[in-house]
């Protein structure tokens, strides 16, 4: 198996993980918010659950379409996966900033920061394997 095929396979796996996470948030927003330490058990807020479900839908749709294109049109899929990778790496950077500023960030924040960074790096792999091909196809620069 070439490194290109392996990078595509790993990126599709990362898309499946991201979509599954979105499905879990969509199906059970209260449980996922409690796991993240964001839900107030005494005063549950339906608006917060609606936002959680919206985020779950975004994760399912974006990761599902990226996985589809990684399989059928790898050049387009690699660019789409790179955009998702930047989002995941941005989440990891936000968690790192939170850990630096909030002294009581806790173990969940540290574990989630590593998870976000790993998913982001994994999603970026196909672009760097065929990145020159993507640029050559668009502008002839590479």
List Cα–Cα distances, 122 to 34, 37, 105, 108, in angstroms. 27, 27, 25, 21
pLDDT digits (tens, 9 = 90+) for 71-125: 999 889 999 999 999 999 999 999 888 888 877 666 677 888 999 999 999 999 9
| Confidence label for 141 from pLDDT (cuts 50, 70 and 90) | very low
Longest dimension (CA), the chain: 59
Q: Which of 52, 23, 30, 131 is nearest to 85 (CA)?
A: 131
**What is the model's pTM?**
0.81
Total of domains in the chain: 1
What would the 3-class secondary structure string for the chain be? CCHHHHHHHHHHHHHHHHHHHHHHHHHCHHHHHHHHCCCCCCCCCHHHHHHHHHHHHHHHHHHHHHHHHHHHCHHHHHHHHHHHHHHHHHHHHHHHHHHHHCCCCHHHHHHHHHHHHHHHHHHHHHHHHHHHHHHHHHHCCC
Quick check: 23 and 33 in contact, CB under 8 A? no
């Amino acid at each position: 198996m070439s490194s290109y095929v392996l990078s595509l396979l790993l990126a599709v796996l990362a898309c499946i993980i991201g979509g599954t996470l979105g499905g879990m948030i969509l199906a059970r927003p209260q449980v996922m918010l409690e796991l993240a330490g964001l839900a107030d058990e005494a005063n549950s807020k339906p608006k917060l659950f609606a936002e959680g479900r919206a985020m779950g839908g975004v994760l399912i749709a974006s990761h599902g379409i990226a996985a589809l294109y990684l399989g059928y049109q790898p050049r387009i899929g690699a660019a789409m996966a790179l955009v998702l990778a930047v989002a995941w790496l941005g989440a990891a950077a936000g968690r790192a900033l939170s850990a630096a500023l909030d002294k009581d960030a806790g173990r969940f924040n540290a574990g989630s920061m590593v998870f976000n960074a790993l998913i982001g790096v994994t999603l970026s792999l196909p672009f760097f394997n065929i990145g020159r091909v993507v640029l050559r196809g668009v502008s002839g620069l590479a």
